[in-house]
Amino acid sequence: MDMMEKKERRRALLTKVIFIILLLVIWEITAKAHVFGKRSEIVFPTLESIWAAFIRNFTFGYAGTSLWIYILNSMGLLLEGLCIGVGLAFILSGLSMVSKTIDTIFNLCVSIFDLLPGVALLPVVIVIFGVKPGVIVFLVVHAVLWPMSRNVLDGFKAVPEIYLEAGRNLGMGSAQLLFGVYIPAATTYIVSGLKVGWARAWRGLISAEMIFGIASSPGIGLFINQMRTNMNNAEMYATLIVIIIIGLIVQYGILNPIENATVKKWGMTK
């Protein structure tokens, strides 16, 4: 079985590599063919131009500020918002398991706010709090809290009653049941919620930074907007690649190992 799994993983990796190479070849052919005439260099810069822009972003950046600074600012705000959002999701979901009243109200809030895009709240939040880094943190919390809570709640409610009865027979209180029964049994849902919450938070962060830039804490979204404004399209494409790379690092370097060390190791999923 292990040999079969290794072969399957190698085959999947090879398929992905071939697909990416094929996309790059198609892009380069389109760029060299000048399909869009004079606009081709803007719409489809060559891979060489994008690579050179990639290097410039990290060495010169914009107005002397390297892209590294923008990345660090964005990741700091994202991490703060993720921690707050995930923490609130666990606290409120845990309270929902203790109180029927809280459960009813919180489920209603999840149903309402999970459908409301964070960008739609942006004008209201700016009017109330002004333009400051905390606004982006708020939007990240909003992006994480509701899908994470939905998954955690679903996981808690899917816990077999026999597990809870066993915990109560052992003398577990509400807090002990939460950490000793609910959370371990709902790990599959929790990891899934982390994946969805991270994806929404990342998109929400970039969108918010593109709509309004914060001079005191410039982020990746602002950098993209600056490149667009100055018609530095190769630099803009290079920054999009950076965003994809960061997303892949988080997905395969953090979230997948967490999943492998928990739900897959425990046989809760394939």
Picking from 139, 144, 43, the residue whose alpha carbon sits closest to that of residue 87 is 144
H helices, E strands: number in the chain: 14, 0
- Count of alpha carbons within 13 Å of 193, Cβ hemisphere only? 27
pLDDT for residue 268 is more than 70: no
Residue 22 structure tokens: 């094929």
Residue 166 to residue 194: CA distance in whole angstroms: 28
Residue 84 CB contacts under 8 Å (≥ 6 apart), including other chains: 137, 141
**How many residues can be counted in the chain?**
270
**Cβ–Cβ < 8 Å for 220, 74:** yes
Distance of CA 191 to the CA centre of its chain: 13
CATH superfamily of the 72-264 domain: MetI-like (1.10.3720.10)
How is residue 65 annotated by DSSP? B
For 64-112, the DSSP string reads TB-HHHHHHHHHHHHHHHHHHHHHHHHHHHHHHHH-HHHHHHHHHHHHH
Q: DSSP 3-state assignment of 182?
A: helix
Q: Strands, E, within the chain: which ranges?
A: none
- The predicted model gives 195-224 an average pLDDT of 84
The radius of gyration of the chain's CA atoms, rounded to the nearest angstrom, is 23
Q: How confident is the model at residue 2 (pLDDT cuts 50, 70, 90)?
A: low
Its pTM stands at 0.83
Averaged pLDDT of the chain: 85
Tokens standing for residue 265: 């190791």
Percent of the chain with pLDDT over 90: 28
pLDDT digits (tens, 9 = 90+) for 44-94: 888 999 999 999 999 988 878 899 999 999 999 999 999 999 999 989 988
